[in-house]
Each structure stands twice: as structure tokens, then as C-alpha cells.
Amino acid sequence: MFKSRVLALLACLGLAACEQAQLQGPIGGGEVFVSEFRSGETVLTGLSTTDETSLIALVGQETFDSYNALQIMALVGLNTFDNPDFDPDTWYVMGVQGGFDYDADGNGLPDQAPIQVFGTVHALVTGEHLNEGGFSITPVTEAAYRYAVEMADGISDEALHDLLDDAAGALVEDTDDDEDVDYDDVIGWNRLLYSQQLLADIDALTSAVAAGASESTIIAAALALFPEAPPEPAPEPEADPEEYFAQFASDVVQLRCGGCHRVGGSASRTRHVLQPTSNRNHIALNTDMYRALVQQEGADYILNKSLGNRHGGGNRLGRFPDDFEILETFLSLLEDG
Ligand code: HEC
């Protein structure tokens, strides 16, 4: 088994079933884990990527000393699975935690003293990818992984694949020469072979992972690489209308309606008069005002006015769909309540 592993590692940058972990340079001695993407269940731990020590143990000091810089860059940071048998259609997360970056200054040559890595690099891959190997776990796959986590809720595995294919163009150019940029190019990319094909500026993300920065820092650095940041999750409707008003709707109506719908304003003689935020009870009083108006006229009456339908104040929210949605949610909570 030892022998076959040596051969597999040596052939790694060719075709064999192995993976390389890279941050700036290859990550040696990083702990490898695999978990199921959807369930989060860990399915494999206990391996680590090759480093100087393990390579010497495998090939002997003499052979190791004969390696040139490029060979070291290609042989550190590798992982092979013995007889991998992952479910081909399931999405997995392969992660490499900690270890040492063998080219932290990114000059393409192994560093004298590799620099410790404090974070984890992830790649989202199918069981088929894991069984076949031949991909790299890099800041580029980290970015795609964070993007997928953000977007994957409630979509099928198929749709997730399409989404990743679409997102690939923000990160890399074609690496497998199939004249198409898709997710295969994301997991196929690595610094050693495809530095020219990198499109995204992954420096901030690389440093954040190296330093073991907080999840939120890493997520922000990753999502910043995609042109259209995924939409903020819509505010969860709180069960309690007054709570929801305090959190979201009050700001909207004070800004968009309060200019006229206040004591002394041009719409002060309507039933829609907002107490100013200087009134300590404004949340409760304004919620009650809306509750009464919804009871008398229904939510649509107010929503229609806000869009300029038979409204002295014209179209106030037509250009602000997010604000409209908040008002709509608030009023529907009042209608339900
Ligand atoms: C530029 C001034 C102005 C702004 C801003 C304004 N309105 Fe009005 N609104 C009026 C006037 C004037 C009336 C009275 C005439 C009418 O009913 O359309 C009115 C009436 C209303 C009424 C009817 C109240 C009743 O007693 O039947 C509702 C509901 C209403 N507006 C909702 C809104 C909402 C919601 C906003 C903010 C998203 C808003 N308005 C912003 C001027 C304004």
C-alpha cells in the first residue's frame, strides 16, 4: 500500500486520483476531512496532506533531497484516498484545516520556513469528483463553497450545479480547454498551473483563511468576488406586528410617508397620521393607527395609495420594492392578527 501511495503521489499532477491543497503555496500537513454538504455529517477524517516529513518517510531522505523546487511545490499538499467509494451524485465538502503554507510569499518557490495556516480551505465537490480526484482545494474553491452555502437553501442538487457553473465565470477562465467556463474549471484551477487563468482577486480571502479570521470576515471576502452579491435574506416576518413595525416598517413609513402624513403635514387631515419618532410611544401609537386603518379599509387600500393609485401623495413606493415588501408584510401581519 505504501508503494502504491508513493506512485500515486508522484503521478498526482498527471492523472491519478489525488487532490492538492493550496493557499498561496501548497498546504503541507493540513488535516483533511470530508462531510456531506446537505446534512453536514462528517464522513471521513484522519488524513493529512503531504509535507516534508511525510514525503521523506515515503521516498527517503536521499530522493527527497534530489527534488527540485517545482517537484516540491507539486508534491507537498497532496491527499489520496485509499479506494474511494463516495456516492457519485452526493455533494460533499472536502476541507483542509491548518497545516503549513510552503510558499506563503507566493514567489513560486518553496519557502525555507513554511508559514502556519490557521484557517480551513474548503471545496464543494460531488462524490464523483472525490472518487476520481484530480482537483485542487484553493481559495477559488473556498469562494465557490461560500457562495454555494449562501445560495443552496431550498434548491435541488441539480440547480446547485447550474448555479456553480454560472458563478464560475466570476472566478476563473477556462482551465480544461473545453472552450467553456464552468464549475469543473473552478475545482480544476490551481496556482501552479493556471495562475494566468485567475480572474478574481483572491488575496483578501487567502489572507483571511491563512489568519483563521472569523467566519463573517471569510464569508464577506468570498462573496465580494461575485458580481451580484446574493440577495440579503428577506427579513423574517415576526409573529408580532408591533415588533416587526419597530424593527423594519417604522423606518420605511417615517422616511417615505412621514413628510406629509404627520401633524402639520399636507396629509394631516387623513386617518393616516404618523407620530414622530421623538414621541416615546411612537411605535405603539403608529402600529395602532395602522391597525385601525387596516380594520376599516383593508391592507390593499394603503398599499394601493403607496403606489400612487388615487393617492394625493402620488407614487411613493413604486421605485422602492424592498420598502414596499416591508410595508406589505407589516400590514398583512395586522390583517392576520
Ligand atoms: C407628498 C405627500 C404625501 C406623501 C409623501 C404620502 N402621502 Fe399619502 N396622502 C397624501 C395626501 C395629500 C392624502 C389625502 C388625499 C388622498 O386620500 O389621496 C393622502 C392619503 C393617504 C391615505 C388615505 C388615508 C385615509 O384617511 O383614507 C393613505 C392610506 C396614504 N396616503 C398612504 C400613504 C403611504 C403609505 C405613504 C408612504 C409610503 C404616503 N401616503 C405618502 C399625501 C402624501
**Among the atoms of ligand 1, which is closest to the Cα of residue 317?**
38
d(CA 326, CA 337): 17
Distance 275 CA to ligand 1 centre (A): 15
**Total length of the chain:** 337
Distance 324 CA to ligand 1 centre (A): 14
Which residue is listed with cell 400590514?
Answer: 331
Q: Tens digits of per-residue pLDDT, 160-174?
A: 999 899 899 999 999
> CA nearest 138: which of 126, 124, 121, 125?
121
Per-residue pLDDT, 74: 87
Per-residue pLDDT, 16: 57
Residues flanking ligand 1, CB < 6 Å = 253, 256-257, 259-261, 266-267, 270-272, 302, 305-306, 311-313, 316-317
Choose which residue among 252, 270, 329 to substitute to test ligand 1 binding: the one with the highest number of ligand atoms within 8 A of its C-beta.
Answer: 270
**Among the atoms of ligand 1, which is closest to the Cα of residue 271?**
26
Choose which residue among 248, 255, 260, 334 to substitute to test ligand 1 binding: the one with the highest number of ligand atoms within 8 A of its C-beta.
Answer: 260
* Averaged pLDDT for residues 288-316: 96
Residue with more model confidence, 248 or 231: 248
Q: What is the mean pLDDT of the chain?
A: 90
Spell out the domain ranges in the chain. 2-223, 241-336
Per-residue pLDDT, 4: 47
pLDDT band at 236 (very low <50, low <70, confident <90, very high): low
Distance 260 CA to ligand 1 centre (A): 7
d(CA 219, CA 209): 10
Which residue has a Cα nearest atom 33 of ligand 1?
306
> What is the DSSP pairing of strand 135-137 with strand 18-21?
parallel
Please list, in sequence order, all residues whose beta carbon lies within 8 angstroms of the beta carbon of residue 254, skipping any fewer than 6 positions away: 274, 276, 277
d(CA 17, CA 128): 11
What's this model's pTM, rounded to 2 decimal places? Answer: 0.60
CA distances from 293 to 37, 58, 247, 288, 302 (A): 48, 78, 20, 9, 8
Choose which residue among 250, 261, 263, 317 to substitute to test ligand 1 binding: the one with the highest number of ligand atoms within 8 A of its C-beta.
Answer: 261
Cβ atoms of 198 and 189 closer than 8 Å: yes
* Averaged pLDDT for residues 58-87: 90
Which residue has a Cα nearest atom 41 of ligand 1?
257
Cβ atoms of 306 and 257 closer than 8 Å: yes
**Phi and psi at residue 89, in whole multiples of 5°?**
-95, -5
pLDDT band at 139 (very low <50, low <70, confident <90, very high): very high
Residue 23 has pLDDT above 70, yes or no: yes
Per-residue pLDDT, 235: 60
Distance 336 CA to ligand 1 centre (A): 23
Cell reading at 12: 498526482
Per-residue pLDDT, 20: 93
Distance 317 CA to ligand 1 centre (A): 12
Between 3-17, 26-40, 177-191, the lowest mean confidence (pLDDT) is in 3-17
Task: Dump strand ranges (E) for 50-150.
Answer: 78-80, 91-97, 100-101, 115-116, 120-126, 135-137
* Averaged pLDDT for residues 21-32: 96
Which residue has a Cα nearest atom 42 of ligand 1?
313
Which residue has a Cα nearest atom 5 of ligand 1?
257
d(CA 279, CA 311): 27
Per-residue pLDDT, 26: 96
Per-residue pLDDT, 2: 44
Cα 331 to its chain centre, rounded Å, is 33
Per-residue pLDDT, 246: 95
Per-residue pLDDT, 15: 46
CA 144-108-220 angle, to 5 degrees, is 25
Residue 286 has pLDDT above 70, yes or no: yes
> What is the DSSP pairing of strand 120-126 with strand 91-97?
antiparallel
Cβ atoms of 140 and 55 closer than 8 Å: no
**Percent of the chain residues topping a pLDDT of 90:** 74
* Averaged pLDDT for residues 309-327: 94
Cβ atoms of 97 and 28 closer than 8 Å: no
pLDDT band at 237 (very low <50, low <70, confident <90, very high): low
Distance 248 CA to ligand 1 centre (A): 20
**Among the atoms of ligand 1, which is closest to the Cα of residue 270?**
26
DSSP letter assigned to residue 172: B
